[in-house]
Structure 1
Amino acid sequence: LHRGLVMSLSGSGSLISRRNIKLDSFLQRSMEGAVHERVRASEPCVVVSDAFNKVYMHAVLSDERVYLTEHKPRTLTVAVSFRRVRGIELVNDLPEFLSGRDRDHCQHIRILYVTDEPATRTFDWLRRDRGAGLPLVAPPSRRSSHCPTITHNLEGGYPAGRGFEPTLLRRSFRSAEEVRSASESLCPEPLQAVRIHRDWSEEEVRMVRPGRSASCPNPDTLGLLPHPPTQPRLHPPTQPRLHPPTTSERMGSVLSRLLRRDCGGGGEQREAELHLYAVSQTSRLHLHLQSAWSSFIIRSTLLLDPLYRRKCSSSSDSTPGKRPPIISWERTAHLFAQLTSELLQDGIHEESLYLLLQELNVAAQRNVALRRLFWRSSELCVFLVQTLEESLHGRQSLSGAYTADQLLLSTVVVETLAVMFRETQAEAARLHLLSARRGALTSRILLALICDPLTQSRGFVMYSEVLLSEYLDAACSLLFELLLLGHESSGCFSADDLLSVDWLLRVVQPHPHLLCFITHQAQQVVLVLSDLPESDLGPLQAVLLFQRCRLLLACLQHSSLLAQHLRSHMREEFRYLVKTPCAAETLPPHYPISGQTKREVELLLTLLR
């Protein structure tokens, strides 16, 4: 790995900004295993909120929540869930309670969210009664609203990926019928279904939880983790009480219920703020927060689509009150190795390759463990990139257009690669692989996925026009994931900004079809937002619009060539055809991604003027 890498691998396999063995050990004891494996970052900072006033704590970031714990960790508290977040801002100010170098280097992050909690200090009253050990603080001094802010721009922090709670992996998804039916509906005559003979059997594994923290033995108060209703509890149920609960235990239960209330609960919601002051000049907490929040709203929006939710049913449609079956890590590794060996066999037929990749794609969407395994061996990733290079660019039809087989195979490869990026930000092997040999594999991915969107028009192949459009959608999603990687990698490497957004766009700049590719993505945004549709955008279309806006913003902010091209060729279309009210009417308000997408559209219109 490049010498300039400042992140290190913690003992649990998660990437944490600065290794803190004591904190990581505490998190292992306090969190469920599946949650701890997906801790993205941990960083010390000064906290100001309804419950804390200028308290030096650790902020711990997972895929779904921000946690807080004391600087010498004793208790773990959920500060905010991403489902409640309405904005994350980097505030441009100098905190008066800091001095010297800390004040000059401080990064002030403001998280805006909604809560059902009343504005009273119930939280601290309960803590005082329980003697939980967290410092008692006065009500926080609210920061004036006129502070200048830097909001939602790609330079200051835009991400990364998405994810699902991994619980189940099914080999061929009970049978090969699901894959075959999907492929038969998409494949032209040359790609006929091939029966997949393997069977992913379901196997329930009881997860044994490590011992609880000695400083907080009460399971009602430890962690205070408000699990969504669809998430399985991975630890055994607590034993029945043999004695009446004490006053302290009753208070702990009340606090637990308060913190577990979902955003859909009763009561009037109010806006609240969580202020994090990172005192390190090299802090990347804001980048991690933007990445995690974007990933969460993307995942939550996608799960509103019935077909997508059914594909991920193992993690999202579990029966309430019933523990879903869990595939063990060992069995997942065994089946993944088996599938990998079949994909890498010599002389594999194109039809078989297509169906095996379909199987890998759907299985990866259902199981994050498989995605982590994917990055731990370079063989399969290199094979997918090579397949894309050969399929899309290695051969052409006599007319010069892409064949249906080429587009189908290329699309499933690109979609599979995009899935592998989701929820694997904390997997150190991913960064190792993508940064090796000065980002050689990443460069190959970038150059392979860009194609000429006008090829089919010149070839008059009407059927393949639809397939090419689907490929271009998939290519945009994968490029979005790579840009998220670029933002997360900013500041990790000391030389040439390896894997940064600037570096990624420099790599693709010489591609002969880059300008046409970017123009196509911009035209799709105009097409969606120029006229009021007969019906709202579906969840998948809403996510794609968000990803396209982020791609265009990256081009405008990080590449002078692409910025000049977009302003020269697309400024008039955006000025006269795209109206912000159209975006508001096109995107349903109940989509988690709608609010952020509207802000991206407004910023895009501003930068294109």
Structure 2
Amino acid sequence: MASPLPSGFPGRTNSRLDVFLRRHLPPEFYDAVRAYEPCIVVSNSENHTLKYVVLSDRLIYLTENPPKSIRRVVALRDVVAIDLIDDYPEFLSSPDREISQHIRIIYSSTVLKKECKKSNSVRKFLFPFHHTKANNEKGTSRRAVHHPRTQLSVLIQASKSCPFMAKKATLLQDPFYASEFSRAIGSQKPYRSEEKIKHFSQLKSELFLKDNSLRRILPLIMELKAAAQKNFILKRLFWKTGDLFYFLVNKLHEYLPESRDKNALQNQSQRVDELVACIEIIQTLVLMFRETETESSRLNTLAAKKGTLFNLLVVLISEPQIPKSCPVFDIQLVADSALVRMSFDAELRKLILEYTNTATALLYEILLVFQQGNLGLGSTKFAISCMMSFLQSCPPIITFVASIVKQVVRGLSASFQLLSPCQAVLLYQQFYILKSCLRHSRTLAEYIKNNYREEFRYFIHMPALQKRLPLCYPITQPTTQLFHEVLKLVE
């Protein structure tokens, strides 16, 4: 990696602690550290002790101040629920008390039960999180926590922390996702950050070759996505310069909403290949957006060419165009041309649905960027009102919102079969987009209320949600709360 003190990264500004972490954590764990913050610990054994909490991609650590040892205390996959508590810690003085928020995190101790020596406990912690301010020096301040047994602090944006954790936890309940995740982690070779940097540079140079065909680009994008799933360092490298982000967005423009290749307008087989590539590109972008909110390079890249970001929004809300004619190949070699057309039509419909779901996931991630503003990372500003104002001016947004409502209706009323983990996460993202439209766009809010009031009365209601969403999913609680907000806005 580069310097251990990335410029503008608010959660990693303590050089002494950073050196300690580099020396005491394996390289792959150190590179996975997202942020660290000072905190006040209150427990049966400690009384208002100043310590540091360290947040990685899978674990929360605790170390002394100054650091002497480090121990794992919470596995993020064990998080069951996160609640925002509307009070202030009495043991803090102003202004610290005024800029803190309590976040209650409920988690089980399955992953770390050996360290904790408890196998059946469920713990509650109160985490304060201060309101980020642009003039907050170095983006840090004292945060405090109190509980009868143990206290911690963590640098996670309050508006995203609950669904974010409820989603690395709900998806892991999907057998296919869990097996893929375990295989990705288990297949890693001994970690070398230099090798990851070299691998990323090689992939980028191959992607940037002139006259690259779609068939040559697709496996490279898939390789990039797989590598980023295994190592967070590739996400940092992706946003460091931004040229690969611009490349992928421009590549989407070549094929969406319609292909620039005139042959694809008449060739269903070619259009299928293009849509498969577009889905892979969007899935890669979703992965690069996820868990990178504290990376200043991401905001710098997005702000440097806001036109690229808004062009991406237009692509995501536009329905892909598909050819209506027969595929271009020797139809005489096929016994039944009608069956062939039906096969291609079915495949295209399936790809369109997969594309819409993937585009929904990326639109959700971009909404979070604008919802969170600049996170105290310099003068770069993103406003949700600005994004929604732009979207409501784009004609395709009406069709996109209509498709979201129809998918929600289909998901809640098609049958009484329980939603899969992936479907549950998608449902949360769909409700989040609807809430953003209802709350921040008068035009879209009026459209939803005027055209889908009956759907919300007869299909999109709480009993239907309760029958389809299992209580064991961590995403169920935040989805239910979000559902209530959407219903209230519609009514």
The equivalent of 2:218 in structure 1 is: 354
Hey, what does 1:574 align to over in structure 2?
A: 456
Distance 1:487 1:334 in 2: 35
Asked if the contact 2:132–2:375 (Cα under 8 Å) also holds between the matched residues in 1, the reply is no
- In the TM superposition, what are the counterparts of 1:33-52 in structure 2 within 5 Å? 33-48=27-42, 52=46
* Structure 1 pair 450–399 and aligned structure 2 pair: CA distance change class (3 A): farther
Cα 1:308–1:114 change in 2 (3 A) is: closer
Deviations for 1:13-43, whole angstroms, at most 9, x for unmatched residues? 8933472223333333444433332333333
Question: Among 446, 451, 464, which residue is 2:318 paired with?
Answer: 451
Instruction: Tell me what 2:473 maps to.
Output: 591
Alpha-carbon distance in 2 for matches of 1:382, 1:521:
27
Report how far residue 55 of structure 1 moved.
Answer: 4.3
Given the alignment of the two structures, is residue 479 of structure 1 paired with residue 346 of structure 2, yes or no? no
Q: Secondary structure at the match of 2:167?
A: helix
> Is 1:415 aligned with 2:272?
no
Higher relative contact order (CA 8 A, sep 6+): 1
Aligned to 2:489: 607
Q: 1:75 to 1:363 in 2, by over 3 A?
A: closer
> 2: CA distance between counterparts of 1:52 and 1:87?
25
Query: CA contact under 8 A between 2:61 and 2:70: conserved in structure 1?
Result: yes
1: distance between equivalents of 2:277 and 2:252?
8
* Residues 171-219 of structure 1, C-alpha deviations (whole Å, 9 max, x = no match): xxxxxxxxxxxxxxxxxxxxxxxxxxxxxxxxxxxxxxxxxxxxxxxxx
Unaligned runs of 5+ in 2: 141-153, 326-341
**Residue in 2 that maps onto 1:375:** 239
Cα separation, partners in 2 of 1:556 and 1:75, compared to 1, 3 Å: farther
Decide which of 248, 255, 259 is 2:116's aligned counterpart: 259
Shift of 1:47: 4.4
Structure 1 Cα separation of the partners of residues 45 and 404 of structure 2: 45
Instruction: Report the counterpart of residue 341 of structure 1 in structure 2.
Output: 205
Q: Identify if the C-alpha distance between structure 1 residues 370 and 543 changes in structure 2 by more than 3 Å, giving closer, same or farther.
A: same
> SS of the counterpart of 2:169?
helix
Distance 1:531 1:52, change over 3 A: farther
Contact 1:18/1:42 (<8 A) preserved: yes
Partners of 1:112 and 1:274 within 8 A in 2: yes
What whole-Å deviation, never above 9, does each CA across 1:239-269 have from its counterpart, x for those lacking one?
xxxxxxxxxxxxxxxxx945265xxx2x4x3
Residues 291, 53 of structure 1: alpha-carbon distance in 2 compared, 3 angstrom cutoff: farther
Task: Report the Cα offset of residue 381 of structure 1.
Answer: 1.8
| Partner SS, residue 32 of structure 2 | coil
| Alpha-carbon distance between aligned partners in 2 of 1:306 and 1:19, rounded to the nearest angstrom | 39
Letter in 2 for 1:63: D
Q: CA deviation at 1:391?
A: 0.8
Aligned-pair distance for 1:386?
0.6
The corresponding residue for 2:18 is 24
The letter for the 2-side match of 1:480 is Y
1:513 aligns with 2:409: no
Matched, 1:469 2:353: yes
In the TM superposition, residue 327 of structure 1 has moved relative to its aligned partner by 5.3
- 1:432 aligns with 300
Which amino acid is the alignment partner of residue 602 of structure 1? H
- Asked if the contact 2:11–2:294 (Cα under 8 Å) also holds between the matched residues in 1, the reply is no
Give the distance between the partners of 1:88 and 1:421, measured in 2 at CA. Answer: 22
Q: Is the 8 A contact 2:41 2:51 kept in 1?
A: yes
Q: Are the equivalent residues in 2 in contact too, given 1:61–1:289 (CA < 8 A)?
A: no
Q: Distance in 2 between matches of 1:482 and 1:80?
A: 28
Q: What 5-or-longer segments of structure 1 have no aligned partner?
A: 1-8, 117-225, 230-255, 319-323
CA contact (8 A) 2:34 2:55 kept: yes
Q: Is the 8 A contact 1:91 1:107 kept in 2?
A: no
Rounded to whole Å, the distance in 1 between the matches of 2:282 and 2:231 is: 18
* Distance of aligned partners of 1:502 and 1:69 in 2 relative to their CA distance in 1, 3 Å threshold: farther
Q: Against the structure 1 CA distance between its residues 280 and 329, is the aligned structure 2 distance closer, same or farther, given a 3 Å change threshold?
A: closer
The aligned amino acid for 2:126 is: L
> What is the CA–CA distance in structure 2 between the aligned matches of 1:358 and 1:46, rounded to whole Å?
44
Partner residue, 1:234:
none
TM-score of the superposition, structure 2-length normalised?
0.77
Q: Does 1:11 align with 2:10?
A: no
Q: Deviation of residue 571 (structure 1)? A: 3.3
SS for the counterpart of 1:296 is helix
TM-score by length of 1: 0.64
SS of aligned partner of 1:90: strand
Distance in 2 between the 1:275 and 1:295 partners? 16
Partners in 2 of 1:13 and 1:391 — Cα distance?
Answer: 36
Match of 1:390 in 2: 254
Secondary structure, in 3 states, of the residue corresponding to 1:273? strand
Match of 2:165 in 1: 296
Distance 1:310 1:112, change over 3 A: closer
Change (3 A) 1:73 1:562: farther
Q: Report the Cα distance in structure 1 between the residues aligned to 2:77 and 2:195, rounded to whole angstroms.
A: 33
Distance 1:458 1:523 in 2: 24
Q: Shift of residue 513 of structure 1? A: 0.4
The answer to whether the Cα contact below 8 Å between 1:13 and 1:427 also exists between their aligned partners in 2 is: no
Aligned to 1:113: 106
Indicate the SS of the match to 1:498: coil
Q: How does 1:189-200 map to 2 (within 5 A)?
A: none
Q: 1:311 to 1:599 in 2, by over 3 A?
A: same
Q: Secondary structure at the match of 2:474?
A: coil
- Looking at structure 1, the residues matched to 166 and 28 of structure 2 have their Cα atoms a distance apart, in angstroms, of 20
What secondary structure is seen at the aligned counterpart in 1 of 2:189? coil
Task: State how far apart, in whole Å, the 1-side matches of 2:35 and 2:217 are.
Answer: 37
Identity %: 31
- Give the counterpart letter for 2:125 in structure 1: E
Q: Is the 8 A contact 1:302 1:309 kept in 2?
A: yes
* Deviation (angstroms), 1:11: 1.6
Find the counterpart in structure 1 of residue 335 from structure 2.
none
What letter corresponds to residue 420 of structure 2 in structure 1? G
Paired residues of 1:90 and 1:109 also in contact (CA < 8 A):
yes
Paired AA for residue 232 in structure 2 = V
Matched, 1:528 2:421: no
Partner secondary structure for residue 101 of structure 2: strand
Shift of 1:477: 0.9
Equivalent residue letter for 1:411: I
Give the structure with the higher percent helix.
Answer: 2
CA drift of 1:431 comes to 2.6
Give the RMSD, CA atoms, in angstroms: 3.7
Give, in angstroms, the shift of residue 332 of structure 1: 3.0
